[in-house]
C-alpha cells in the first residue's frame, strides 16, 4: 500500500491518515476533526506537499506544528506569518499547480478556503 499523503499524529500515534491527492486530504481532515474534540496544539500534521493553499488551510484548521515533505516558499511565508512551527525535507521555489497560481494574491485563510473548496468540488 502507498504511504499516506497526510497523517495527523498525537504523541507519535497516527490519529488520521489520508491517501487522497491534492487538497482533498485537508478537506477530509476537516470533516474528521468536526466529529472529534482534539486540542490541535497537541497534534502534528504531516503532509507530503505543502504549498500556499495547503498552508492557508492548515492555519485555518488551527494546527500549530507541521512536517512537510516538500514545502514551497509561498507556503513557508504563510506558516511563518501565522507562527506555525514547521520542518521540511525540501524547500522549493514553487509548486507547479493551478491552485498555487489561483491564490498568488490571496492572504485571507477564509477566502482561500472558499476558493479551493469550490475548485475541489467539496
- CATH classification at residue 107: 3.40.140.30
Position 1 in a domain: no
Number of domains in the chain: 1
pLDDT at 103 (0 to 100): 83
Q: Along the chain (122 residues), what's the average pLDDT of each consecutive run of 10 residues? A: 90 96 93 90 95 94 97 96 97 85 84 86 75
Position 33 in a domain: yes
Position 68 in a domain: yes
Position 83 in a domain: yes
Position 43 in a domain: yes
pLDDT at 97 (0 to 100): 77
Question: What is the greatest pairwise CA distance in the chain?
Answer: 38
Position 115 in a domain: yes
pLDDT at 121 (0 to 100): 77
Q: pTM for the whole thing?
A: 0.90
How far apart are the C-alpha atoms of 18 and 115, rounded to whole Å?
Answer: 22
Query: What number of residues does the chain have?
Result: 122
Report the candidate in 81, 88, 32 with the shortest Cα–Cα distance to residue 61: 32
pLDDT at 1 (0 to 100): 60
Instruction: Please give the helix or strand (H or E) that residue 61 lies within, else none.
Output: helix 52-61
Position 37 in a domain: yes
pLDDT at 37 (0 to 100): 86
Report the candidate in 115, 73, 69 with the shortest Cα–Cα distance to residue 96: 73
pLDDT at 15 (0 to 100): 96
| Domain encompassing residue 45 | 6-120
Amino acid at each position: 500500500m502507498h504511504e499516506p499523503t497526510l497523517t495527523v499524529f498525537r504523541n507519535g500515534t497516527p490519529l488520521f491518515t489520508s491517501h487522497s491527492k491534492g487538497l482533498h486530504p485537508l478537506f477530509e481532515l476537516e470533516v474528521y476533526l468536526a466529529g472529534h474534540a482534539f486540542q490541535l496544539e497537541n497534534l502534528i500534521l504531516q503532509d507530503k506537499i505543502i504549498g500556499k493553499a495547503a498552508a492557508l488551510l492548515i492555519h485555518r484548521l488551527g494546527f500549530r506544528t507541521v512536517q512537510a515533505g516538500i514545502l514551497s516558499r509561498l507556503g513557508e511565508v504563510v506558516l511563518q506569518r501565522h507562527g506555525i512551527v514547521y520542518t521540511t525535507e525540501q524547500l522549493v521555489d514553487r509548486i507547479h499547480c493551478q491552485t498555487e497560481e489561483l491564490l498568488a494574491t490571496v492572504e485571507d485563510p477564509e477566502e482561500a478556503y472558499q476558493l479551493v473548496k469550490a475548485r475541489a468540488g467539496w
